[in-house]
Structures are given as C-alpha cells and as structure tokens.
Amino acid sequence: MHCAQRVFVGGLLLTLAGCHSDVRPDPQKLAAWTTALRAQQPADAFGAVYKHADDRLVFVGAAHTEDIASLTFTMVHDAYASFDIDAVIVEGAERSRGPNEDKLLRWVASQPEHEGRQPGGELVAAVRGALAEGAVVWGGEPDDAQIRDTLTSEDVAAADLLGFYTLRSVPQWLREQRIATADDPRGHALIDAELAHNRERLGLPPTILPDTAAWMEWYERTNGKAFGSGFELEEAGPLADGRFASNRVAAAVERSRDAFLLQAIADHLNEGQSVLVVFGESHLMRLRPALDAMLGPACYVGGDLAAAASGEC
C-alpha cells in the first residue's frame, strides 16, 4: 500500500497515492558465496524483514526440509500470521509462468502430509499459505535461456554451462542410489539422458558435448582429474573460491539467479505490494548486502517472525 501525497489542483486539496520512491536494485551489491560467507550462515533457517513505505519484504531463508515441525515451516506460517502479504515468490518455479500457475497449484494440491513430513517441503507450505492468505504466487527463477544469455555475456562457454548443468545431477543420483559411486557404469546412460535434457533446456545444438565420452573429457579438462571414484560432492557447489573450476561456473549460475530474484523483489515493492520470499538460506546470505543497499538495513534478522512483527517491523 503506497503512502498518501497531498496536492492542490484548482484550489482543491486532493490526496493521491504513490508518494513512496521506487527502489533501484543493484546486482553489483550481491555477495559472492565464499567459504567465509558460508561459515557465517546460521545453522538453521533464518529470516530478514525490510520496510518500504507501508509495505514489507519478508524473506524466509529456508533450510530445505520436509519436516513440518522445523523452524523453516514455523517461519513460513508465522510470516502469514504476522504480516499482510500480497505477493509470494518461491524457489524452483520460473517467473515466466505467471501468477498462480495452474500446474504448480495442482502439484501442491497433490502433496499429502504423511507422518509429520510434507513432500515438497517448504514450497508446499508457502503456496498453501498464499492461497489461504489470498496472496498471489510467483516463481522466482529465470528461464534457463536467460541464465544462458547472462553467462554468455560474462564469457562463460556454452560447453561449461551444459557440463555443469549435468554435473550438478551427480550428487542427486548418489543420494537416490541410482548409482553407487561416481564411476558406476550405470551412470553413463544417466549422463547421456541428462545432456540431452539440458541441451533442450538451454537451447543448445547437439554438437556441444554430444555424449558421455565428450562430457567426461570436459570434466577432466575442467577439474583436472578423471571423473570417477575421486569425485567430491563439493565440485557441484557454487563456491566462488572453491577448489574446482566447476565451482566458478556454479557460482556464475547462482549469481544470475540471485540478480533475477533481486529484480523481482524490486518490481513487487515498486507496485506497492508486501512480499514474502521463500528461498534457500544461502540466497538470503548473498542477497542481504544488495537488499540493505536497496531498502536500508533490515528491521529484523533472525528466526522469530512473530516477534519481528510485534517489534520494530
């Protein structure tokens, strides 16, 4: 809700909305995800609340979980109970799909709670809370083609982007026991399929890393070792000062996502909306300097959003 502005027209006093000033996001203020910043991240979920005129930005930095008794779920519920939310921005859904995208809402409706766990995690809690609140749900992710174009402008090669997009699936395959180790022969078919899928997502021709053999050559050229038993989960992480070249590609991808999210937040605030953002806590760590520069220091940082609403916020 914009604050009021009084003007005189023809001797009449009129009250108009919109005396707030628009916020201007500066992606150069985003923090890099370094080992030092990672060490500063709280052990559990945390949030930040910012004021903009009569509106609020409530950012829940989630510790990704399906546990409904978790601090993450508590903070999502408290955000709705404590603040009047107009728009909700969630992780994992593309903004280009528009508001209250039907496929997302149908998927959320199909996720039943089971034994204290909520499949779909805090995304489901955030969307269901928005629908109960009467708030509008938006994805906070850029399209893959936007990420491709951003990284191309930063001189990241298409092969490096495609190689990383495929590399980041390896930890998931290990968690799901689809492969026992990184050098499990079953991984070859998974890599081939993932390359094809990611080329389509990124709009890249089939000549770029056409098969597993080409991808493994890319991996060895990038990280300086053969792909196999020596693989480390951290290779797929976005540490800007990580030990592997793949970390730098991952960091560039995350920086592109964070810059997009920062702009989305600014757009909603400039429309006079109070905004709830539910993203992973590392995103909040990286965005905080840019949010401080855009909105001034947060009026609250911590894990108790109900206390935030009853205090300075």
Task: State the Cα–Cα distance between residues 88 and 134, nearest whole angstrom.
Answer: 10
Residue by residue, pLDDT tens for the chain (313 residues) are: 444 444 444 444 343 444 568 999 999 999 999 999 999 999 999 999 999 999 999 999 999 999 999 999 999 999 999 999 999 999 999 999 999 999 999 999 999 999 999 999 999 999 999 999 999 999 999 999 999 999 999 999 999 999 999 999 999 999 999 999 999 999 999 999 999 999 999 999 999 999 999 999 999 999 999 999 999 999 999 999 999 999 999 999 999 999 999 999 999 999 999 999 999 999 999 999 999 999 999 999 999 999 999 988 9
> How many Å apart are CA 292 and CA 51, to the nearest integer?
11
What is the model's pLDDT at position 19? 53
pLDDT score for 135: 98
**Where does 204-280 have alpha helices with state H?**
212-223, 245-270
A 10 A CB-CB count for 228 gives 14
Angle at 14 between CA 13 and CA 19, to 5 degrees: 120
Residue 188 burial (10 A CB sphere; 0-12, 13-18, 19+): middle
Geometric angle at alpha carbon 163, from 162 and 167, rounded to 5°: 120
User: Is 148 exposed, middle or buried (CB count within 10 Å of its CB: 0-12, 13-18, 19+)?
Assistant: buried
Per the structure block, which two tokens stand in for 167? Answer: 């590399």
